[in-house]
Chain A
Amino acid sequence: MGIAPEFFESIDACGNDFTIRPITNCGKGDPMQSMIMGNGGPSVRGIATVKSVN
């Protein structure tokens, strides 16, 4: 987890392993609309806070 601009500024390397994943249920609007789309990227290195949730 992190703060967006701090995390974006911390990115110092992006991989050459670009991959696209399917997103099948993104909701938006009133009445709610579910939409399909793609999202992707390579491996990304940056600084963030890591913690276990249990």
Chain B
Amino acid sequence: MEQISNKNKIQHSAQEIALKASQLIDAKPAKEEKATVVMNPDFVSLLTHEILGHPSEADRVLGKEMAWAGGAWWKGKIGEKIGSEKLNVFDDPTIKESLGWYYFDDEGVKTKKTTLVENGILKNHMQNRETAEIFDTPSTGNMRATNYRFMPLIRMACTCIGNGDWNVNEMIKEVKNGYLISNMKIPSIDMKRYNWSISCQYAQKIENGRLQIY
């Protein structure tokens, strides 16, 4: 969990923001291309929310939210490979530093970490007591309402892509032609979370392993 916790950190962050604003004054538009992208954790947070978290809600998977929130392209694919073995995804309501921290959901189910994708294999969805019966699995404790006036729905608690073992500088160093994509902005995703488009706050070109400054 990243926190701005003291005066030095605040001043350092302010300097970084000022430098970035200065560089963006002369930024050039990127040409459209399919390329290797290194996405920073802030951008990945929104990406995870939109194309891994939402389609993991079992009510969406079952089509119960189709008229409003939409469905999920991976319906019926539990146990199947949906990504590379580097991809691990979980939802965890027990992380105290997260805004999605709680002990019991609104159906009284005690919370714990749920594996959603393991080494690229789709393992589970977020469940309430009703959908858990349909999927023949325990509830994952994700049933939450905004307050007492609303009916609880299956909601993410803290859905994340799991940590790897790469230093980000090493990840960049191996890229011949690509981009470093930084910080979340606006998502645009289709009803089944299949086609995705997410804008970032800024991107930097990577050429032969080095970040380019334009």
Stretch at the interface among B7-15, B18-26, B128-136, B155-163: B155-163
> Which B residue's beta carbon lies closest to that of A37?
B100
Q: How close is B100's CB to chain A, nearest CB, in angstroms?
A: 4
Are A28 and B155 in contact, with the CB atoms below 8 A? yes
For this complex, 18 residue pairs linking A to B, each with C-beta atoms less than 8 Å apart, are: A1-B197, A2-B196, A8-B120, A9-B83, A15-B171, A20-B98, A28-B155, A33-B145, A37-B98, A37-B155, A38-B101, A42-B41, A43-B44, A45-B38, A45-B171, A49-B34, A50-B34, A52-B32
Contact between chains at A38 and B95 (CB < 8 Å)? yes
A7 to chain B, nearest CB (A): 8
A51 and B35 CA atoms in complex are apart in Å by 10
Residue of A nearest to B40 (CB): A43
| Prevailing SS type, chain A contact patch | strand
Chain B residues with CB below 8 A from A21, complex form: 41-42, 45-46, 184
Q: Say which size band chain B's interface belongs to.
A: 35 or more
Tell me whether A13 and B166 are in contact (CB under 8 A). yes
- Expressed in whole angstroms, the Cα–Cα distance for A10 and B36 within the complex equals 9
Chain B residues near A (Cβ < 8 Å): 1-2, 29-42, 44-49, 51, 53, 55, 65, 67-69, 73, 82-84, 86-88, 95, 97-101, 120, 144-146, 150-151, 153, 155-168, 171, 174-175, 179, 181, 184, 193-199, 203
Q: Are B51 and A43 in contact (CB under 8 A)?
A: no
The answer, among A11, A23, A29, A36, for a CB contact under 8 Å with B83, is A11
* A43 vs B27: C-alpha distance when bound (angstroms): 23
How many A-B residue pairs lie within 8 Å, measured between CB atoms?
226
B196 touches A39 (CB 8 A): no
Query: Are B150 and A39 interface neighbours, CB within 8 A?
Result: no
Give the residue of A10, A16, A22 whose beta carbon is less than 8 angstroms from that of B84.
Answer: A10
Which of A10, A22, A28 sits near B68, CB closer than 8 Å? A28
Given contacts A14-B164, A29-B150, A50-B179, contact A3 B156 (CB under 8 A): no
Residues on the B chain within 8 Å of A29, using CB = 65, 68-69, 150-151, 153
Report how far A48 CA is from B67 CA in the complex, Å.
29
B193: which A residues are within 8 A, CB to CB? 4
Q: Which of B33, B45, B167, B194 has the most CB of A within 10 A?
A: B45
13 other contacts beyond A38-B158, A41-B47, A51-B32, with CB at 8 A cut-off?
Answer: A8-B84, A9-B83, A14-B161, A14-B164, A20-B95, A23-B46, A26-B156, A39-B159, A42-B164, A46-B36, A46-B39, A50-B34, A52-B30
